[in-house]
Structures are given as C-alpha cells and as structure tokens.
Amino acid sequence: MNERVILLVEDNADDEALTLRALKKNNITNTIVVARNGVEALDYLFGTGQYAGRDTSVQPELILLDLKLPKVDGFEVLKKLRADERTKLLAVVILTSSTEQQDIVNGYGLGANSYVRKPVDFQHFMDAVRQLGLYWLVLNERPFAGLRNGR
Amino acid sequence: MGEGKLGKRNLTDRLLWAGLAAAIVAAVAIGWNADKDAHESYAWNNWVSHTQSVLDALDDAQENSLAALSSIQNYYQSGDLKNLDSVSNSISKLEHQSVVLRSLTGDNASQQNRLDRIDRIERRMTVLSENIIRSAPAFSQPQSLRAPEAAGLSTAVYQLFVQLYQMSAVERRLLTERTARARATSRQSTTALEIGGSIVFLWLLIVGGYAFLTTRRLTDIAKALAVSEVARVTERKRVADDLRALSDSERRYATQLEVVNKELEAFSYSVSHDLRAPLRSIDGFSSALMEDYADKLDEQANSHLRRIRAAAQRMAQLIDDLLKLAFVTRSEMRTEAVDLSAMANVILAECQTAEPLRQVECVVQDRIMGQGDPHLLRLVLENLLGNAWKFTGKTQQAKIEFATADQDGQAVYFVRDNGAGFDMTYAEKLFGAFQRLHAAADFPGVGVGLATVQRIVRRHGGRVSAQAAEGQGATFSFTLEVNHGGQQ
C-alpha cells in the first residue's frame, strides 16, 4: 500500500464498495480513507473527533467528495476545508449523481477542482475512476509534493 | 278682439302644454333608458362578483394543492405515513372544492372540461396515496424507495395545480372583461341621465310659466341626478376595489406558481440523485458478478446478468429523459427571431456525422425564420429531424424535408420524411410521454421526443400535428404563435 491517501467521502455503502472496486481494478494502490458523512470527513481533515491526534500535516492527495451526505453535506465540507490554511489547497473532485446546474455552479463556486457525475454503467464508472486516478495522482502537479517527498 | 285674445291664450296654453308634455315624454324616455342601463350595469356587477367568488374558490383549491404538495414532500423526506393522512385530507377538501366550482362554473363548458380533468387527477391521487399506505411495510424504508411514489403523487398535484391555474386564468380574463362592461354600462346610464337631464331641464325652463306644474318634475329630476351621482361615485369605488383585488390575486397566483416550481425543482433534484443510486448498484454488482465468478457462471447466467445491466442502464436513460422533459416545461423562455433553416442544416449534418454510411437526401428550405426560444426550438427540430432520420433508416432513397407554408396567414413549419410512417389510428397516442408506435428492437428510443416537441410548441402558443400512413412516411407540422397573443 501506498501511504499517499485518497479520502473518499461517501455515505452509500454500495457506492463505496463500487468505488473501492473501481480503484483497485485500475491499480490505484493508495491508502483509501472512507468518511461516511461530512462530520467524519472534517474530523479526518482537521484531526478532531474520532481522528483526534492525527498528524494533520499529512493530508490526502485527493478527496473524492459526494454532495448529498448526512449531517454535514458536501458543500459544507468543501466550504470549511477551503477556509482552513491546512487544507485550502487540497485537490477536491466532486463525485456525485447530480447534474443539476445549481450543484455544478455551487461546487465550482466553493472551489472544487473538478465535477464528475457517477455514471450508472459500471464500465463507464471504471473508466471515469481510471482517468481521475491518472490525472490527479500522476499527471497533475500538486503544491507540497516535493516537500513531502523530501521528508 | 276678445276672441283673438282668447285664441292667443289658447295658442300659448297649447304651446306650453305641448312643451310640458314633450318634457314629460323626454323625462320618461331618459328615465327608462337610464333604468335599462342601470339594470344592465347591475347585471354586469353581479357577474363581476360571481367571477370573484369563482376565483376565491380556485384560490382555496390552489392553497390546498400546495398543502398536499408539502405533505408529500414531508412524507418523502421523513417516511412518516401521517403525512399521507394530511394528503388525503387535502384531497377530500379539493374534491369538495371541485363540487363547488362545478356548480359555480356551470355556464362555462371549457371550465367544466377542466373540472373533469381535475376530478380524474383527484381520483388518481386518492388511488396513489391509498396504494402507498397499503404497501408501506414499516415506518422507515429507505428514502429512495419512496421516491417513485412521491414522484407520482407530486406530478399529479402539479397537473392539478396547472388545471387550477388555467381555470383561474380564464376567470381572471372574464373578471377584467366583466369589470370593464360593468363600468361602461354604469357610465352609459350616468351619462344618459346627465345629458337627458340637462335637456329636460332646458325644456322645463321654457315652460317656466307653468312652474307650479313643473316643480314636482324638477324636484324629481334633481333627485334622480343626485341619486345617479351617488351611484356613480359608489360604482367608481367598486370598480377600483375590484381592480385592486384583481391585481392582488394576480400577484398571489404568481407567487404560488413560483413556490410550486421551486418545490418541483427541489424534487427533481432528489429524484435524479436518489433513483440513480440503486441503479448504479444493480449495474455495478452485476458486472462484479460477471467478472469475479466468470468460471462459475454458464452462458445462461451471463445472459441474465447482461439483461439486468441493460435494464438498469435503460432506466437511467428514462430518468434522464424525464428530467429533461421537466426542464422543457419549467425553464425560462426568451423570445427572439431564430433561423430555423440554419438550425435544421446543423442538426442534419450531425445526424450524418453520427451515421456516415447512410445516404439521405436532405432538402431544407432557405431562410425559414421563427419567433421563439432558440434552445427550446432546437430541441423541437432535433426531435423531429432526429425522428425523420431514425425512421428512414430502413428506406431505400431516404428523403427528409424541412419547409414552411402559409396557412390562413400563419406560418406552418413541417418536417416530412418517406420512412416507416405509422398507422393514423394511433396518432393521438403519438404525443404522450413514453408512448411508442414501433418496437424498440426496430427503432430504438424511449418515447419522450414527441412529448417534448408538443410541450415546447404549446409553450410557444402553437400547435403540432402529424400526418402519416404506415410504410409511406410521416409529416409533422407545427406553428409558433408567441407574437400573436398566444399563451406563454
């Protein structure tokens, strides 16, 4: 396992299983941390609640964020993490069922890096995950990457 | 001499008497006339208050349908069956209100027709909510299972609301018309009294020698004038009140419609999210089964799984199309001159790119312009030309034509093809959502294209119709009437 973390924020157990499957099938070997609602996601990012004491200088390489979540929804998570120095530069891909214009506009407005609709056809979903992995984990240059590698 | 004097006095007498008689005749005539006008004005005023009470009843019904809608939303959100009791409660109130409306609008056939539709929708709502209550197993089933039920009910309420809205649109038009008539007749009667009164008054001055005889007349006329002045002031105030009430209700309806649209928007959002999630599971896990257990599954098992996956994907397509159809009805419209010929050429070129091997003769008349929303009109042409393209797929020497013709001073646009056509017996089914006249295996599609076309054309105030024969092609024609006072 690769210690660079992907944070998957997803409340639907089926979607979680399918996303994990798609990541595995595409040979994406990063550690996957799953948060099942917005509160869990924020706890992980800021080292609070069940993640109290976590080293928050280590942050996920990529956040796959669902929008409709119990307790605190995806937009709220996005807003909070963009407002915090520790997390404001993280790569966030909204991965959701909705293609409502309002959601897409809100998502980008709050600083999402990408917006992807989960396709129903699993082959298409596999394809989307493969491309996301390739782009965000390989091609794309992130800030701090050199810093972390040197550590 | 004496005789002469006598003759002269007789003459004056006669003149004066004649003058008085004329004044009386004139007064009677004017009075009668004014009375007739007053009666008419009274009748129109009755119509105005009648229309007002119809509008009040419609108002109550609309409020009830909104209440039903929010109960359905609550049920959808919480799963609490108590909300369905409130829905039933709203439905029974609505049923009562349609009885009232039916008797109030007995004179208006088109309103009665709408009430027939409303009755049908109310019956459907009762059946739907009873079904939910009967089949709901326990308090908390997953929200996604409630979505289709709640969607069915909300759609019914929305249809109901639209019918009520159309009814009130008609009544509001009647109210404006009747208020104007009431005002006009009341003005007529006052003017008649005023002018007539002045003439009579002059006459009476002329026959002033017989003042003692005419005093009573004068007083009567003065009284009549005073009464008419009071009536006129009252009438003016009443008309002003009516108009104010009218604009108040107009505003209220607009707000209500906005609320309903907002609710629907939120609802289609949930539907799109919640209904797709289980489909992803069905498709994803079927696919996992096929991959992980390939060695244990025989061809039969694989074929079943393929069918399951195809069905899930098809349902996802249906949901998307339904949402698109909803978008067509609720998106905002802007009206401008649109070059339909250019649009048609682009669409046909796209069809050709998608199927480069097909040879279709496309004839598009030059510079066909139409007034309407460019985005929506493109959907109309995409669907009609796309259908023509699709249904000529098995035709030798396929030909598709887009042209316009003048019919009674109105532009009629038509798309004609020489493809599969259809039996005109089923023509009325053609424009319903999810209606298909061909097997999906012959020509693919889910059957919302023409429903979309009809909705858009109707929103533009136009009509759409079809002419065809099986195996001999089809012609679809439509009109756009945005600029000629059509509904928007």
pLDDT digits (tens, 9 = 90+) for A71-98: 889 999 999 999 999 999 999 999 988 7
Q: What is the pLDDT of residue B482?
A: 53
Most confident of B36-45, B444-453, B466-475: B466-475
What gap in Å lies between CA B454 and CA B479, rounded to an integer? 11
Task: Tell me the sheet residues that pair with B401.
Answer: B363, B416
CB contact under 8 A, A123 and B287: yes
- CB of B191 closer than 8 Å to CB of B167: no
CB contact under 8 A, B312 and A120: yes
Q: How many CB pairs under 8 A join A and B?
A: 58
- CA geometry: angle B321, B121, B91, nearest 5 deg: 120
Sheet architecture: strand order including B398-407: B360-364, B398-407, B410-417, B474-479, B464-468
Q: What is the pLDDT of residue B49?
A: 84
Residue B471 and residue B382 in one domain? yes
Residue B242 and residue B358 in one domain? no
Q: Of A17, A21, A120, which is closest to B283 when you measure between CB atoms?
A: A120
- Of B269, B302, B328, the one marking the end of a domain is B269
**Does the predicted TM-score (pTM) go above 0.80?**
no
Mean pLDDT of B245-270: 73
Q: Does A70 touch chain B (CB under 8 A)?
A: no
- Of B250, B269, B288, the one marking the end of a domain is B269
Q: Is residue B54 part of a domain?
A: yes
Assign a CATH topology to domain A2-150: Rossmann fold (3.40.50)
Q: What is the pLDDT of residue A149?
A: 42
CB contact under 8 A, A98 and B283: no
Q: Residue B422 maps to which CATH number?
A: 3.30.565.10
Q: Is residue B147 part of a domain?
A: yes
Mean pLDDT of B35-57: 82
Residue B194 and residue B77 in one domain? yes
- CB of B101 closer than 8 Å to CB of B167: yes
Model confidence at B132, pLDDT cuts 50, 70, 90, reads: confident
Average confidence score pLDDT of chain B: 80
Q: What is the pLDDT of residue B62?
A: 83
- CB of B143 closer than 8 Å to CB of B278: no
pLDDT at B139 over 80: no
Q: Which domain, by its residues, includes B231?
A: 2-269
- Of B216, B236, B269, the one marking the end of a domain is B269
The larger pLDDT score, comparing residue B51 to residue B282, is at B282
Q: Which residues of chain B make contact with A99, given a CB cutoff of 8 A?
A: 272
Q: Does A101 touch chain B (CB under 8 A)?
A: no
Model confidence at B484, pLDDT cuts 50, 70, 90, reads: very low
Residue B166 and residue B241 in one domain? yes
Model confidence at B361, pLDDT cuts 50, 70, 90, reads: very high
Q: Does B284 touch chain A (CB under 8 A)?
A: yes
- In this prediction, what percent of chain B has a pLDDT beyond 70? 82
Model confidence at A114, pLDDT cuts 50, 70, 90, reads: very high
Give the pair of three-digit tokens for residue B340.
């339909």
Number of domains chain B contains:
2
